[in-house]
Chains A and B, each alone.
Chain A
């Protein structure tokens, strides 16, 4: 009973008593601890343990930085595998006040945000499907993998599905003067399996695959 009385006594501190100082000090103090101390400490340790990843998983090729291993980039040439459609945009180089389509702009990630019934979405998919068939020499009623004709969420998706890569392989092989088998075996080599055997779905990093293709072409040119 005495304990309860004491508790009741202590809790009878007036609601606003001495409240101003801790309220103001706590805002500044916890800003320093959680907003500056914590991220800086993490940065220090991360740079020490995993310097490559901490700096953005950048890839060097022939002495220059050609991209990040986890960020997709825009491919249009027939001798390269192409990534997924991207809805990013950027300032028009000729008139910076205007915005134009700029796929794989890693300075401004974006998605279409179109709903499933949107005419804009359906028109875009129809157009991409037609272009994909023509580009890869497919029949006019051939089934096209869904990832090849829909825009990714980030606009920077680095991966494509195996189905998508296999349909592009013969085009790439032809443009490079390689056999389809060679290209397909590279596709197999560069397929990332499910993580820990169960997480996610199998996928192919387009930039890594294209780098491997370039290396294979170069190797062949050297031996000939």
Chain B
């Protein structure tokens, strides 16, 4: 117990320190006027003018179309995989609905996987489709956060920066160097990094064991630093090759939190209000700690059904105990709980345990965090989502005290509130709408692995994960059907672009406004009071929207567990 809490404290302390260091670097990246020689060469190859200033509409259009072209390229390679030479295991091409789902999933930073990596992708596809889309998907998210913050920091101007410059710098100065160094640490810890497809060994007892290999380390780094989450192997970061030690597990956790937490610092630095950055950081952290406590305590308490069979789930010097179904021994309960909470907070979706086998309250946490979608959140989009709620908060408070709401010295008026509400509503609309559609579609029943409330949770989890661009699953669900591949694919696109683009519009509209000096009636947005109000608004809006659905899933399952009902 003491050691567990020590681990949590160490990880969060390192995260806070790194947020400052990386935040400074990223601020420089987004604001420095000079381009280096490699970047200039890249702009020449792309045929773009790095000095062009883009309106939010042009910035958004370039983002949307370049993402579409990348997604299409990924789709084509997946469809043609069988014809690309070099795979000694001769893995087949993906079917159209599966390839659409995969390409949509990885370009939107979701990384939902309807396929099993071992049997479905060649090493070439793992690199040229998956590693590629994971890198550019994350780069897009961070870049657009730069454009967004720039928009909020400016006044009386028509532009929010240059998408190509933001994109190229994030890739060259941030993600690729970080991933390269981290990959070497990962290999040192026992992750493979080879082009060999597999090896067959004879075990100590004389059986044959086929071991799948590949360029795993270079995949794992961008997967976590980019808050992506798709696995090289079917069982993702629970697979010993994807996560060989407690140290790699810790580094995975820190990687996922790295950019989302650093962006709060970037935000404070770029709008010249450092305290505002920390107020947002605090809001993230308060919610995170609450969810972590819930996961850890319910997973360590274990499964009461097993206790009655004489299974020992107590934590002792000789075992970590707890609910160990679907967990790996080298992580135990503490590292696993931290990972579960982080991966769904930072909307990564990587898993080092099977979320479907979590206790009901342990499984409630990932669902709830993805529904809120702004406890740290994914690279770039997490901060943007939180600002959405910050604007909503000043609006609500402004209504209550009867003054024109202001945010960062700009008046918040009807036009931007419409964009904010579009971003706020697109998320539950997609989750609840698609879940309802699936519940009345007869063919869905055949995909379910569990029954009772857990079966409903499987479906709810799938659309929540897709819309939140998370990608983790209650993986009992067989999602590789045309219905799920198509609807989850659409949910991912809605969840990504229908929240990003409206907020880019907000940034563009606010950038064009004049600054108003703060008066006695201005609500300061960098105080603990505001952080409290913000968390309150997030929980109330999220609760009102999603509690009815949650009540049918994990909450009723928890009550049934206490009464001893099985399915």
Q: Which residues of A contact B (CB under 8 A)?
A: 4, 7-8, 10-16, 18-19, 21-31, 33-36, 38-43, 45-47, 49-50, 53-58, 61, 64-77, 80, 84, 104-119, 121-122, 125-126, 129, 141-147, 149-164, 166, 194-196, 198-203, 207, 210-211, 214
Q: How far is the CA of A142 from the CA of B195 in the complex (A)?
A: 48
Binds A, one of B262-270, B349-357, B401-409, B437-445: B349-357
Q: Are A160 and B329 in contact (CB under 8 A)?
A: yes
Binds A, one of B66-74, B280-288, B365-373, B521-529: B66-74
Q: Given the known A-B contacts A55-B213, A129-B311, are A151 and B326 also in contact in the complex, defined by CB atoms under 8 Å?
A: yes
Query: B520 within 8 Å of A by Cβ?
Result: no
Chain A residue numbers with a CB within 8 Å of B311 are 125, 129, 143-146, 149
Q: How far is the CA of A77 from the CA of B171 in the complex (A)?
A: 52
Q: Are B54 and A74 in contact (CB under 8 A)?
A: no
Q: How far is the CA of A213 from the CA of B323 in the complex (A)?
A: 30
Chain B residue numbers with a CB within 8 Å of A75 are 204-205
Q: Given the known A-B contacts A42-B183, A112-B326, A117-B305, are A154 and B194 also in contact in the complex, defined by CB atoms under 8 Å?
A: no
Q: Are A42 and B240 in contact (CB under 8 A)?
A: no
- 1/0 contact string of B219-260 vs chain A (CB within 8 Å): 100100000000001110011110011110110000000000
Chain B residue numbers with a CB within 8 Å of A156 are 235, 239-240
Can you pick out 29 interface pairs between chain A and chain B where the beta carbons lie within 8 Å of each other?
A: A10-B51, A10-B53, A21-B47, A27-B72, A39-B215, A39-B219, A50-B187, A54-B192, A55-B194, A56-B199, A61-B204, A65-B201, A66-B202, A71-B241, A74-B207, A107-B118, A108-B119, A109-B238, A111-B357, A115-B557, A118-B567, A121-B357, A143-B310, A143-B312, A146-B313, A147-B319, A156-B240, A157-B328, A201-B331
Q: Are A49 and B132 in contact (CB under 8 A)?
A: no
Question: Among the listed B62, B326, B454, B566, which residue makes an inter-chain contact with A111, where contact means beta carbons less than 8 Å apart?
Answer: B326
Chain B residue numbers with a CB within 8 Å of A194 are 3, 246
Query: B55 within 8 Å of A by Cβ?
Result: yes
Interface size on B (CB < 8 Å)?
140
Query: B36 within 8 Å of A by Cβ?
Result: no
Q: How far is the CB of A209 from chain B (nearest CB, A)?
A: 11
Q: Are B235 and A154 in contact (CB under 8 A)?
A: yes
Question: Among the listed B118, B194, B205, which residue makes an inter-chain contact with A47, where contact means beta carbons less than 8 Å apart?
Answer: B194
Q: Are A114 and B450 in contact (CB under 8 A)?
A: yes
Q: Are B164 and A113 in contact (CB under 8 A)?
A: no
Query: B545 within 8 Å of A by Cβ?
Result: no
Q: Are A116 and B561 in contact (CB under 8 A)?
A: yes
List residues of B (322-369) whose CB comes within 8 Å of A's CBs.
Answer: 322-332, 334-335, 351-354, 356-360, 363
Q: How far is the CB of B473 from chain A (nearest CB, A)?
A: 9
Q: Are A13 and B205 in contact (CB under 8 A)?
A: no
Give the nearest-CB partner of B6 in chain A. Answer: A198
Q: Are A122 and B319 in contact (CB under 8 A)?
A: no
Q: How far is the CA of A105 from the CA of B321 in the complex (A)?
A: 26
Q: How far is the CA of A144 from the CA of B310 in the complex (A)?
A: 6
Chain B residue numbers with a CB within 8 Å of A74 are 203, 205, 207, 209
Chain B residue numbers with a CB within 8 Å of A143 are 310-312
Query: B29 within 8 Å of A by Cβ?
Result: no
Q: Are A157 and B319 in contact (CB under 8 A)?
A: no
Question: Among the listed B198, B233, B360, B567, which residue makes an inter-chain contact with A119, where contact means beta carbons less than 8 Å apart?
Answer: B567
Chain B residue numbers with a CB within 8 Å of A67 are 201, 203-204, 209, 211
Q: How far is the CA of A195 from the CA of B245 in the complex (A)?
A: 8
Q: Which of A13, A70, A153, A199 has the most CB of B within 10 A?
A: A153
Q: How far is the CB of A205 from chain B (nearest CB, A)?
A: 9
Query: B157 within 8 Å of A by Cβ?
Result: yes
Chain B residue numbers with a CB within 8 Å of A153 are 235, 238, 326-328, 351-354
Q: Are B73 and A147 in contact (CB under 8 A)?
A: no
Query: B7 within 8 Å of A by Cβ?
Result: yes
Q: How far is the CA of A66 from the CA of B66 in the complex (A)?
A: 48
Which 6 A-B pairs have CB atoms at the shortest separation, nearest pair first?
Answer: A200-B246, A35-B132, A153-B238, A201-B332, A113-B476, A163-B318
Question: Among the listed A76, A84, A117, which residue makes an inter-chain contact with B560, where contact means beta carbons less than 8 Å apart?
Answer: A117
Q: How far is the CA of A12 from the CA of B57 in the complex (A)?
A: 10
Give the nearest-CB partner of A124 in chain B. Answer: B325
Q: Given the known A-B contacts A68-B201, A73-B209, A199-B335, are A109 and B118 also in contact in the complex, defined by CB atoms under 8 Å?
A: yes
Q: Are A116 and B360 in contact (CB under 8 A)?
A: yes
Q: Which of B45, B116, B210, B319 has the most CB of A within 10 A?
A: B319
- 1/0 contact string of B288-326 vs chain A (CB within 8 Å): 000000000000001101100111110011111111111
Q: Are B193 and A54 in contact (CB under 8 A)?
A: yes
Query: B544 within 8 Å of A by Cβ?
Result: no
Query: B460 within 8 Å of A by Cβ?
Result: no
Chain B residue numbers with a CB within 8 Å of A56 are 192, 194, 199, 211, 213, 241
Query: B158 within 8 Å of A by Cβ?
Result: yes
Q: How far is the CB of B44 from chain A (nearest CB, A)?
A: 11
Q: How far is the CA of A129 from the CA of B454 in the complex (A)?
A: 25
Q: Are B159 and A11 in contact (CB under 8 A)?
A: yes
Chain A residue numbers with a CB within 8 Å of B180 are 38, 41-42
Q: Are B196 and A55 in contact (CB under 8 A)?
A: yes
Q: How far is the CB of B189 from chain A (nearest CB, A)?
A: 7
Give the nearest-CB partner of B238 in chain A. Answer: A153
Query: B136 within 8 Å of A by Cβ?
Result: yes
Chain B residue numbers with a CB within 8 Å of A117 are 305, 452, 454, 557, 560-561, 565-567
Q: How far is the CB of A77 from chain B (nearest CB, A)?
A: 6
Q: How far is the CA of A154 from the CA of B194 in the complex (A)?
A: 21
- 1/0 contact string of B30-45 vs chain A (CB within 8 Å): 0000000000001001
Q: Given the known A-B contacts A27-B72, A200-B245, are A114 and B325 also in contact in the complex, defined by CB atoms under 8 Å?
A: yes
Query: B142 within 8 Å of A by Cβ?
Result: no
Binds A, one of B123-131, B489-497, B533-541: B123-131
Q: How far is the CB of A71 from chain B (nearest CB, A)?
A: 5
Q: How far is the CA of A208 from the CA of B119 in the complex (A)?
A: 28
Q: Are B135 and A30 in contact (CB under 8 A)?
A: yes
Query: B184 within 8 Å of A by Cβ?
Result: yes
